[in-house]
Each structure stands twice: as C-alpha cells, then as structure tokens.
C-alpha cells in the first residue's frame, strides 16, 4: 500500500453529529469523498437532506437521523449499525450556542451555562460512549472543539469552558480506549459558516478577523474536513490524544473585533 492509499477510507462507516450545515456538513462530505458511508444528524430534516444529497453525489450512501442528539447517541449508533452494519468513525461535531447574545461569564444565568455544557460537552461524552461500545479494532473518535477552549475567552465563557472540557476528555478517552480506538480533537479557528455570519454580521467584521490570521484569510468547512479525514485514516494510526488546531496560524484571540461580539 502506497502512502496516499493510507488516507483513503474505502468501506468505512462514519457518524457526524451536527452535520446539517457548516463545518459538520463539510466533514460529512469530506468523509464521503474519502470513501465512507455516512450517518448524519441535526435537528432540521431539510438541512440533512441537503447534506445527504452531497454524500450521494460523491458516490456514497447516507442515513439521516433528524433529532436533537442530546440523550440519543445510543439510538443513533444502533440505527447506524442496523443500516450499515458497523461504526468505524464517530465525529462529535454538534455544538455551538442556542443564544446569540454574548455576555461576561459572571453575568451568565445558570441555565445558560448548563445548556452550553450539555450541548457542547455532554453530547460528546455520550457520543464517545455510544460509539466505543460498537466500534471494532481501529475505530476513531474525533471531537470538534475550538480555539476558544485553549485560552481565556471573554464574552463566550460557557462555550469555551465546555470546549476546554472536551479537550481534557479527549486525552482521557485516548488513554482509556487505546490500543483499540484512537481519540483526537480538531479545534477550528474562524471558519465562515451560516452561524459565523449570523453572530458577527457583515460590516467588515470578516476583514478584521482575517487580518489577525497569519495566513491572511478565514477558514472554510473543507479545511476542517481535511483534518478530520486525516485523523480518521490509517495515515494517523500513530496519533491519539492530540488536538489539531486548524486556524491559519492564529494562536491567540484577537481583540480587534471584540466590540462586534458584544453587540
């Protein structure tokens, strides 16, 4: 087998939560292009149909699970096995925020903090448990974290705390599940998605953020998909417990656009 063959995922079965739009959709399409049949999950059926269409256009089969994934990872895992016969790759991508308002951490209501932990961390914990029970030798779990989880993150504290917890959980799972299953994380920097545009608005914010990135431009979902495909593949067979920051060289938070986040 040549080196490039090590990046292929022919015959594998992947699950991608939160794959109705944006980064999750890009990951699902990337895994399909690499050879996977893919089970996709999000709350909106119409979004998932678009994701599934892209999977099928890439010559692979898709299974749609339209539901809030909280407390339903076991159900998704069982349905995936029933449909495709196995689970090889599980990507915990669901997350974000149900709130569009930003605030200081000490001004955050308890229920908002709990909701962020549940959506961004507990779902990954549940997904890891559900997939690990059903994976064979060589399985791969990938947690989509965030650069916000690697440092202090003013005005997005609950989200950042959840993502920091995800990074610690990734290392713990990697140790506990080795050598059978590899567990890694990918932390995207600023990636242009529907949610990104909704939170920051237009008004030149994208240009300001791009100026803080050494490579000079914002990321796209395919940039994250490429990292996930690598970490899922035999090419990464000696990589576990690691977090791959995909952010154009940006290693610290730029405060040039902080006023945008506060609005």
Q: Which positions are annotated as active-site residues? A: 159
Q: What is the widest separation between alpha-carbon atoms in the chain?
A: 56
Instruction: Please report which helix (H) or strand (E) contains residue 128, including its range.
Output: helix 123-134
Instruction: Please report which helix (H) or strand (E) contains residue 186, including its range.
Output: strand 181-188
DSSP3 helix / strand / coil % (the chain, rounded to 5):
50, 15, 35
- Dig out the tokens for 244 from the structure: 């791959």
Strand partners, 40: 16, 64
Q: Are 148 and 243 in contact (CB under 8 A)?
A: no
SS3 label, residue 219: strand
CB neighbours of 197 closer than 8 A, spacing ≥ 6? none
């Amino acid at each position: 087998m040549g080196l490039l063959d090590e990046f292929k995922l022919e015959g594998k079965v992947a699950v991608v939560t939160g794959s109705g739009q944006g980064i999750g959709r890009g990951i699902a399409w990337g895994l399909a292009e690499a050879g996977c049949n893919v089970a996709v999950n999000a709350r909106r059926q119409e979004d998932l149909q678009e994701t599934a269409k892209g999977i099928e256009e890439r010559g692979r089969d898709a299974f749609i699970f339209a539901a809030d994934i909280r407390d339903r990872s076991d159900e998704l895992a069982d349905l995936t096995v029933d449909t495709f016969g196995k689970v090889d790759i599980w990507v915990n991508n669901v997350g974000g925020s149900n709130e569009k308002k930003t605030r200081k951490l000490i001004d955050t209501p308890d229920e908002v903090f709990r909701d962020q932990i549940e959506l961004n961390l507990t779902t990954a914990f549940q997904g890891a448990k559900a997939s690990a029970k059903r994976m064979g030798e060589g399985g791969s779990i990938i947690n989509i974290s965030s650069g916000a989880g690697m440092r202090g993150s003013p005005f997005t504290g609950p989200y950042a705390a959840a993502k920091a917890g995800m990074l610690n959980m990734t290392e713990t799972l990697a140790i506990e599940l080795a050598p059978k299953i590899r567990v890694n994380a990918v932390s995207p920097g600023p990636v242009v998605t529907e949610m990104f545009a909704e939170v920051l608005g237009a008004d030149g914010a994208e240009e300001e953020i791009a100026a803080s990135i050494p490579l000079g431009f914002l990321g796209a979902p395919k940039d994250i998909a490429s990292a996930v495909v690598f970490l899922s593949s035999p090419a990464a067979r000696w990589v576990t417990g690691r977090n791959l920051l995909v952010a154009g060289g940006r290693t610290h938070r730029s405060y040039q656009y902080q006023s945008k986040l506060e609005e």
